[in-house]
Structure 1
Amino acid sequence: MCSSAWINLICSSCTKGVTFFFLHALGYYARVQGVSYLLEAFLKKTECNCQIVNLGAGMDTLFWRLKDENLLPRKYFEVDFPMIVARKIHNIKSKHPLSKPIIETHSGDSLLIDSHSLDSSRYSIVGADLRFSSDLEEKLKKHQLDVHLPTVLVAECVLVYMTPQQSADLLKWAASTFPVAMFINYEQVNMADRFGQIMIENLQRRQCNLAGVEVCRSLESQKERLLVNGWENAHAIDMMKVYSFLPQADVKRIEELEFLDEKELFEQLMQHYCICWASKDSSNLGLADITF
């Protein structure tokens, strides 16, 4: 579930103070900025001679943002369930601002596109179930995945919907497949405390099950999951910490859009999300040095 849904659940009885929409805007701003910071650090270390695999990408527009910033990797992959992929491909085909950058960056033969996959020389979108890594790898390789190229994998609110064993299998596959790689994960944390339990109970009443929530006990449990599944080093910080690292002029401007009078609630929410990242670096590119 996205952060907006969480905030809606927690704030459903709140009738005063900052609106749900403003809390969501602040949280989403920190999420985008935090993930982008790590991603761009990887792109700089590799001089964009790399590939990105966006896991559970949904309607994400990262490929288009990177193109606008002249930061495209050699190949950009997106993976999601076939139903989601079909919807996104339809949007790309029907909206010129989305299809134009793909065509502009394509070279070689005609674009390969059907209802559940799209493959160009710089951008691919693949329909696959992340719970089955062998099927995932096969489909990615059909779209010219190069396992010897430095690779950054991004998962935002994805692993928490998989069982701990399923997410461990995915992490282990990634660590064993790419000699030079980084994994960026954004999801819940500190879910064993009272605030976290209320969040879980609210979701359960709505028949929404977070199958992997037990791994979200703490920042240490998040790091441990990465390390035990083959990654050489790992880091994890909560989103309140990320928020404190953001450009203060931007933070002040955003906070002034609406008076932030529920700071305690905002801090609690931000302390229940985190960014974790891990790397392995056989080429000594300095990936272990990437941090906030």
Structure 2
Amino acid sequence: MSKQLEETNCVDKEDTLKKNKSSKSRRETAVQGTNDCSIVSKCSMSQQGYYEDPYLQAFVVRVTRRAPLIHRGYYVRAKACEYTVERFLSTNPGPKQIISLGAGFDSSYFRLKAKNLLKETVLFEIDFPELVKRKHALIKQRTDMLEMIGPINIHHPAMSPHIELSGSHYKLLGVDLSQTNTVEAVLRLCGADLDTPTLLMSECVLTYMTRRCSSALVKWASETFTNVAFVLYEQINPNDTFGLFMQNHYITIGSPLKCINHFPTLISQVERFIKLGWEKVRALDLNQFYSSVLESSERGSC
């Protein structure tokens, strides 16, 4: 009877483990679905003339036209990201690197490469393994994009199954961001230099992680790189009318915003980063960026 109980307990544990893995897989799939929705909105915004990026189309199977309000929001978001990246590139002479955390189908490498802004710069993109495989497959359909990447370095799968694509200046890596030890190991394997000026980008990514995992990632970054800036774009103000609507939307699609209520304001985000080891922290919302940073000619675009 004791043996039967032990066997039953083992089966129960295995079933629980399988259920947990299945639940985790569903959550990851839902988060990856937000990438698909976002890239369609970005592509629609670009096609309507708000923002020039001909490479977005490569990652969209079927373009759906979004509403003007969506276009305006994505335009200001795109300009904010562009501003921070191009400022980093222009103020750091010599070798440098950009690491995009949860990059999704972002087309920044190709857009910046076309503008000749990536001299002496390596751009690393990290996201779920399944998603980066999809991205790689789409890139392979575009000869012009493959030419922009240049010769591909071959890494033996046994050395790192996480390296999906590795060019001289563009690295596409499949790693769960909650596994910071693996993230660091794969970056090092691909040639990342922890002392080189580095820009970490996170565009609507940390909010889908648990508070513990997202904070661990922010802390890891502050402790690992010696010359680094971290740019975070994330939702705030969860309790106003739009914030409540937004939260409900993400719950409905199975991808709730896990951190927004822990860090609901600009001040709380600043305090978060300082607590996790960052010395200088500045925060703006998009309204402030629109009114105080964008040129008047750029504001006219929306």
Please classify the TM superposition score into its range, dividing by the shorter chain length: 0.7 to 0.9
Instruction: Report the secondary structure of 2:191's partner residue.
Output: coil
1:18-37 → structure 2 map (5 Å cutoff): 21-37=67-83
Match of 1:149 in 2: 196
Deviation at 1:239, TM superposition (A): 0.7
- Please report the TM-score for the alignment, with normalisation by the length of structure 1: 0.75
1:41 matched to 2:83: no
Number of positions where the alignment pairs a residue of Structure 1 with one of Structure 2: 237
Deviation at 1:200, TM superposition (A): 1.3
The one-letter code of the counterpart of 2:298 is D
Match of 2:114 in 1: 68
Deviation at 1:48, TM superposition (A): 5.0
Match of 2:296 in 1: 248
- Could you tell me whether the CA contact under 8 Å between 2:237 and 2:243 is conserved in 1? yes
1:101 to 148, 153, 156: 148
Kindly indicate whether structure 1 or structure 2 has the higher relative contact order, using CA contacts under 8 Å at least 6 residues apart.
Answer: 1
* Unaligned stretches of 5+ residues in structure 2: 1-33, 42-64
Question: Which of the two has greater strand per residue?
Answer: 1
The one-letter code of the counterpart of 1:84 is L
- Could you tell me whether the CA contact under 8 Å between 2:35 and 2:104 is conserved in 1? no
2:280 to 221, 233, 236: 233
- Please report the TM-score for the alignment, with normalisation by the length of structure 2: 0.73
Instruction: Report the secondary structure of 2:124's partner residue.
Output: strand
Write the distance in 2 (CA, Å) between the matches of 1:120 and 1:203.
35
> Which structure is larger by alpha-carbon Rg, 1 or 2?
2
Instruction: Report the secondary structure of 1:237's partner residue.
Output: coil
Match of 2:186 in 1: 139
Please identify, of 169-178 and 92-101, the stretch whose mean Cα deviation from structure 2 is larger: 92-101
Hey, which bits of structure 1, 4+ residues long, moved more than 6 A? 2-5
- Could you tell me whether the CA contact under 8 Å between 1:156 and 1:185 is conserved in 2? yes
- Could you tell me whether the CA contact under 8 Å between 2:199 and 2:231 is conserved in 1? yes
Instruction: Report the secondary structure of 2:220's partner residue.
Output: helix
Match of 1:78 in 2: 125
The one-letter code of the counterpart of 2:199 is V
Deviation at 1:84, TM superposition (A): 0.8
Match of 1:172 in 2: 219
- Could you tell me whether the CA contact under 8 Å between 1:53 and 1:153 is conserved in 2? yes
Distance change (3 Å), C-alpha of 1:3 and 1:111:
closer
CA RMSD between the two structures:
2.3
Match of 1:260 in 2: none
Write the distance in 2 (CA, Å) between the matches of 1:68 and 1:207.
37
Deviation at 1:3, TM superposition (A): 12
Match of 1:87 in 2: 134
Distance change (3 Å), C-alpha of 1:206 and 1:25:
same
Write the distance in 1 (CA, Å) between the matches of 2:254 and 2:224.
36
- Could you tell me whether the CA contact under 8 Å between 1:215 and 1:222 is conserved in 2? no
Match of 2:102 in 1: 56
- Could you tell me whether the CA contact under 8 Å between 2:128 and 2:174 is conserved in 1? yes
* Unaligned stretches of 5+ residues in structure 1: 9-18, 256-292
Deviation at 1:4, TM superposition (A): 7.1
